[in-house]
Structure 1
Amino acid sequence: MPTSAHKEEEIEDMYEQLDELLRSVKSEHNLYILGDFNAVVGDIKDGDVTGKWGLGNRNERGERLINFCKQYDLYITNTMFEMPKRRRYTWKMPGDIARFQIDYIIARTNSKKHIRSSHAYPGPNIDSDHNLVLAKCEIEWPKNHKNKTKKLININLERLKNLEYRKEYKETTDRILQEWPTPEGTLEGQWKTITKTIEKASSAVLGKTKRAPRKNWITQEILDLILLRNKYRDTPTEEGQNLYRKYKNRIQTLCVQQKEKWLDAQCSKIDFCMQRGFLERRYNLVKTLQGKKKTKSKVISNKEGKLLYDKEDVVGRWVEYIEELYEGTNLNGDILEEEEKVPDDSKGPNILWREFDSALEALADKKAPGKDNVPAELLKCCGPEAKNYLYNLISTIYDTGQVPEEFSTIKTITIPKKDILELSVADGSLLAGGGRSSSPSFGKLEREQPAALGVSREGPAW
């Protein structure tokens, strides 16, 4: 804050900037304001704003600071705790002719239970006429309420390469579909029927993929030593502490040795894959060694370059970006035109089975599933009854122009290349959607006749 030598207009200008800043902070967020306010609030208790352990007599600027705190329901923490005067003053005049408390730590009134202490520390030599002011807090972070989405089941798709597993999976999908109690009549119901059938069959036959151990080089010997070490962790005797250190050192030594052996073995496997041309296996091994790459930040900026922290603002910016990206495209309404709205002479022929089967087989493997979490491999390996059920569903969609909700929904995944995302229509790498947006996105069909699946019966294919 400006000193007493500055005009009142400058003081008000600073408070106006603080007002603008505080209006951007949500009420449920933690808020702490620290600084040299060049104001004396004194040692008189004033409601919940100040305590009686301030210092000196309140001046005009101290009164202005208190009014500001009352406006935003704040309180001055380093006036609330009983301390000797040598722990209250934060600034001394040149020549040490007088001492004042003008530096404060300000927090929300509802966060009093988090502040354990707050006062000045005159001891540290920081080459300044101000003292260090320190508050000890136990901050309660807001809970992150994640949106409830359909949990992705990690099916062991590698087993589909085995002919026995694939045959059993086909038979199981047909059997479950035939045993389904009451086939749903609506498109939504029919799509749920096929997805639940695939989910049950894949879980029963293929099973789930097993997670790799957290540390691949940990052996049973190390695990046994960890149990022994933990046994002596809290032993008060000197002998127990010596045994604890002994096992601890032994564990560290073994971990280093086993990790080196494991890394050497992995490097040998990578060399073998490179020599034999097993590129995919080599890629997976290298990816395992690198570990998961974590997103650094979810903060993005708007068109003006202003950073957006609020969840609603971030979502709104994504909506604005996608609308600009697909400018001119109708983002609302059905993907397909309804049949009665299409002239008879513009309607194409019905979908043939060979077209459906060709499009299904053309789906790429090892691609991220859509909202339904059904991988392409499971659709392609279904039994004949399940495929026929799916074929009838797609034919109905084509004929009626109506689609299940999941077909018209995409996932937007951010792929940040730096801490702050700057969205622009030209930057296509930030949007990974479309494609198999909701599951059977059946590619472009090769046919001399009009496309079998499309935006309309005379429009482009999916």
Structure 2
Amino acid sequence: MVSTTSKWTWKSPGDETRNQIDCMMISKRYRNALLLAKTYPSADCYSDHVPVVGKFKLKLKKNSKPFTNIKFDLAILKTNQTIRGKNQISVQNKFEALGDAEEVEQQWKNFKSAIMEAATEVIPKVKRKAKQKWMTEEILNLMEERSCSKGNKEKYEQIHKKVQEKCNMSKENCINEKCKEIEQQRKHAPQTMYSGFA
């Protein structure tokens, strides 16, 4: 949606031709949020393209429930009898401590609360896995430490800087190793030198 006064967004050298080739893309979900789109031919931006500016009005829904991304190692309950026994006892004790509830909904909330509290205390969490080949255990530990220090801005910034440095160094080392492997393959098997490096 462009204003009717100036629809062109590009002019050719010498100002012989003017076309509307620049546009604004928006998700269909938010199409009603776009109130106005307008071009500014008089803008001094040192380009043969004209800026296209949009005006939006968004209504964001507040998430009332805090996001929790805690993953427990539930598989350990099948293999470790000790942890399974502790978890069962902890759930039972916590559920009984909450007292009897007449309504089914409240009973379910109490039971759910007991399970979550017991799991937090007894069941170990799933360790974060590296999504990239260059990701090291040291970087994962630093990221975990950074996540836990969100309340302290200064500490968070310090750890974040370390994470960035370690990531850049690890990426560079990984790329260098790949280059060495490709070079070795080039000498001995040039047909397959790039296999596995996509």
TM-score by length of 2: 0.47
Structure with more helix by fraction: 2
The structure with the largest alpha-carbon Rg is: 1
TM-score by length of 1: 0.23
